[in-house]
Amino acid sequence: MRWTLLKQISELSPGRRAVATATTDFPEELFADHFPGIPVTPGVLLIEMCAQLAGRLVGITASQQASMLRLPFLTMVMEAKLRGFVGPRETLHIETELEELKAMSAICRARVTRNDERVATMRLMFAFLPEDEAARQDRTQLEAFEREEFTRLGLEGFPPDDVRVVGR
């Protein structure tokens, strides 16, 4: 299974918020045991959808502020509430807002809705590698993946340069 869960980013306002769509078109094997006869998307995948969008928002914002590429890593899930059952092949609306951005961390609030019904809410904390540690890492493969994902998600540009939704 690929972990590229977002389908498209439809709104991006660095430093403020991002909006995307995702679908639960996962392989049938995922639902076979979760739960037999009543297929439910695992809550951890809803959290991952939010983390992917919030991570993009945090990374773009931090990179533009630092004038260099900064890549956030999810470190904490707080106040996660799974409020509704999400079955297979459903389209979800993901929204995230940046609450706080510091030199080494960030916090975002996220919400998942389906047809205007709230199905999950959470706060997510991200951390950045210290600059000396980041300088020792070969990030070539990760940066290539990120560039490809930006294009797939409908974004133009790449941090620390301006990033915008295609067509806006």
Catalytic residue list? 34
Answer whether 97's CB lies under 8 Å from 53's CB. Answer: no
Q: Residue 99: name the closest of 128, 69, 78 by CA.
A: 78
Token pair for residue 14? Answer: 């660095």
| CA 158 – CA 29 distance, rounded (Å) | 36
Query: Interior CA angle at 161 toward 153 and 102, to 5°?
Result: 90
